[in-house]
Amino acid sequence: MWNGTENIIMENKIICVVGLGYVGLPLAVEFSKFFEVIGFDIDKRKIENLKKGIDENWEIKKEKLISSNILYTDNPKDIKKANFIIICVPTPVNNAKKPDLSYLKKASEIVGKYLSRNSIVIYESTVYPGCTEEICIPILERCSNLKYKKDFKVGYSPERINPGDKEHTIDKIVKIVAGCDEDTTEEIAKVYGKIIKAGIYKAPDIKTAEAAKVIENIQRDLNIALMNELSIIFNKLGINTKEVLKAAGTKWNFHKYYPGLVGGHCIPVDPYYLAYKAEEIGYYPEIILAGRRINENMPKYVANLAIKGLNKKGVVLKGSKVLIIGLTFKENVRDYRNSKVKDLIEELREYEIEILGCDPLLDNETVEKVFGVKNYKFEEVNQVDAIVVVHLHECMKNISLEELKNKISEIPVLVDIKNVFDKGEMINKGFLYYSL
């Protein structure tokens, strides 16, 4: 039976991180500075690459991976060596926009099967309030034949990593922790406290920590939805949204959000998790889902801007060529999960427009498989009828207006989603220019 005297001594902690993606890998590397770490993932190719010091996401340098004290493994039996297990697996939604907990359930089954007595299991995946206790813990008990709170403990500590952000690194973001009881919360706080310089926030219970995480992205989603709706209105009024936001931003309490395509694994997903739970308890979340509807519709709106430009240029839509620059869900990351560029491409294809992709962070095989288009280097692109700039990675920031103009036949049409270029300068250069 578990008691206070059996708490694992800090020096004897063996940490296992389950899931070595954007969240799990940086976590494993940081913990390896202080503890023995096991990095487990079911992806054999990923494990082999990590052993060679290759991070497929380009987030962590080779030297750092090789020098880290991490046992990279795809053998679930290695989990049994650990007494502090952190689960970092994806929690997407299905085609019906309902939570897809298959990865979470599978990870829980694997961990449960090899769970050692007196271990602590911490979940970092974003879920709805109650998921850890209602879904995950019963699986751990069933697969381990151990008793929750008697033989093992559980906690929740939501990930807050921002892919591609070199300023807000894992150690500089306050870490929320919550355990199934006060002692477990303290134990989890001590372990994470070794790597988090920004501080630890102890939530009163697991449900509170789960809710805190899910609303972070809901708040951002709603604010971007507001900016997107304002952008549509201002466009119809002939007002430059960028200039409006610049003017409004001079007030001290104006929150700076910008319009755009909302992709990635978190922001367009998390609202559906809370909405699912809300509907389960009999409440329909109108504002949350209204924000989602606006953001989900933006690829169609952007496609219409491109079509408007092509029509004004006088080209036949069928067979015309449009180059899309930036295919990942945000600039300077290789993550293409839930990239709304895929929806944008589908919208343009409704008019039988030929689409060319351009993203130096992705290989052609990936682009063809995920987006259904060929991936070109910018210098390889010949004459197209219009260009849509979704975003420019750092390695593309030196592209000039003249270079863009030379890629477009006759009257240059440019849709600039992130307002990268100056509208006045674009118009002076003869562009038919559209932006959010």
Catalytic positions are 266
Sequence-separated (6 or more) residues with CB below 8 Å from residue 114? 76, 77, 79, 80
Identify the helix (H) or strand (E) that includes residue 354.
strand 354-358
The token duo for 415 is 């849709």
236, β-bridge pairs: none
Between CA 168 and CA 224 the distance in angstroms is 20
Closest CA to 305 of 388, 422, 412: 388
Rounded to 5 degrees, what angle do the CA atoms 364, 366, 369 make? 105
- Asked if 197 contacts 172 with a C-beta cutoff of 8 angstroms, the reply is yes
Closest CA to 14 of 71, 81, 87, 73: 81
Amino acid of residue 343: D
Closest CA to 371 of 433, 305, 299: 299
Instruction: State the DSSP string of 9-45.
Output: PGGG-EEEEE--STTHHHHHHHHTTTSEEEEE-S-HH
Biggest distance spanned by C-alpha atoms of the chain: 79
Cα 246 to Cα 47, 224, 232, 258, 421, distances in angstroms: 46, 16, 17, 10, 15
Contacts of residues 309-313 at CB distance under 8 Å and 24 or more positions apart, as own/partner, are 309/386, 309/413, 309/414, 309/415, 309/432, 309/434, 310/353, 310/385, 310/386, 310/413, 312/413, 312/432, 313/385, 313/386, 313/410, 313/411, 313/413, 313/432
- Asked if 410 contacts 429 with a C-beta cutoff of 8 angstroms, the reply is no
Between CA 290 and CA 269 the distance in angstroms is 14
Residue 63 burial (C-beta neighbours within 10 Å; 0-12, 13-18, 19+): exposed
Rounded to 5 degrees, what angle do the CA atoms 402, 407, 413 make? 85
**CA dihedral sign of residues 73, 78, 81, 83:** positive
Between CA 147 and CA 131 the distance in angstroms is 18
